[in-house]
Every structure is written in C-alpha cells, then in structure tokens.
Amino acid sequence: MTVSYENSKIIFDGIKAAGIRTVSALPETWLGLVLQRAEDDPELELIQVAKEEEAIGIAAGAYFAGEPHLLLMQNHGFLAAINGIVSLAQLYSIPLCMLIALRGHWGEPYAWHTRGGIVTEGVLRALAIPFEYARDPAKVAAQIRDAYTFSESSLSPVALLLTRDLMED
C-alpha cells in the first residue's frame, strides 16, 4: 500500500480552508505528503519538531499569540506527548487541534505499530479528549474545520484520527 497523494492534498486543502496558518509536526510516513505541501506553501508555516511534546508548547504559544495552529502527529507521537497535553493544555484550558495518523489499527501490516494502535482510543477516552475518525475524503475538510472550531470553543484538546481508509491507496 502507498500513501494516497490525492487524499493528502485534500487534507492539506482542508487545513488551509479551516484558516490554519501554522502547523507543528514530526515527520511520519502517512503525513509526509501533507508536510511537503505545508513546507512548500508560502502562506503556511511548518514548524518541525524533534519530539511531539515540543509541539504542545508550540501550539500553546500559537494560541496565546492568536495564531491558528494545528498539530500533525502519529498516534505513537500522541502517546509520547501525553505529559504536555495533560500538564499544559488540559490544566490551563489551551485548545489543541490534533490530526493523528492512526497506525496499528485494522489491516496494519507492521507489528511495531500495533500496540500503539490498540491503546490509542482508550487513552483518548481516559483523558476525556473528544475524537472522531476521518475515513471519507469527501468529509475530511469539514471534519478538520469542525475539530479546530471545537478545540477553540471547548478550550481543550480534540483529535481527528486519520485512518488507513483515508491515508492509503
């Protein structure tokens, strides 16, 4: 399976249509084409991080500066960033709009992704982080917009899980 070029473009276009102007991310296979578009677009600033938890601090700073910001990460990165999510975003009511590549779910061929895939939903629920699945390219732009709007109105983290159905051809 290969990453969907067309759906990556749809996701990127949805990010821009939602009014997002900065994105923080750590490179990841499924998100690579989205990140390339972000890097090439002069209207959007891509902030690449070494660890996903850094992106939480960057998103908080963007929020306080009034800059529409989105986080792109893999679910294992989300799991690695939990301290920042709980100790910063949730504690101080900082909105985080997270687009999370849901690796290790149905159809996952790589064993190293499966453990994270198995626990991601449960961790989101345990942290009371609202989430939805993005499966349909025709709906993903609206889902991105709605996730960003909800993170802002609820002053909390929100996750949109990018599934295999969406990300691979």
**CATH number of the CATH domain containing 75:** 3.40.50.970
Quote the number of domains for the chain: 1
Q: What is the per-residue pLDDT for 40?
A: 97
Burial 137-168 (b: 16+ CB within 10 A, else e): beebbebbbbbbebbeeeebbbbbbbbbbbbe
What's the whole-number mean pLDDT along residues 35-64?
Answer: 97
* pLDDT confidence bin for 160, thresholds 50/70/90: very high
pLDDT of residue 54 exceeding 90, the answer is yes
Q: Which two tokens stand for residue 100?
A: 């999370």
Domain of 90?
5-167
Distances (CA, A) of 95 to 51, 75, 88, 113: 19, 18, 10, 27
Distances (CA, A) of 93 to 63, 68, 142, 167: 11, 16, 24, 31
Q: What is the per-residue pLDDT for 73?
A: 97
pLDDT of residue 1 exceeding 80, the answer is no
Find the distance separating the first CA and the last CA of the chain, reported in whole Å: 6
Q: What is the per-residue pLDDT for 75?
A: 96
What's the whole-number mean pLDDT along residues 108-120?
Answer: 88
What's the whole-number mean pLDDT along residues 139-145?
Answer: 98
CA-based angle 22:140:153, to the nearest 5? 60
pLDDT of residue 110 exceeding 90, the answer is no
| Residue 42 neighbours by CB under 8 Å, 6+ apart | none
Nearest to 3 by CA among 24, 36, 32: 32
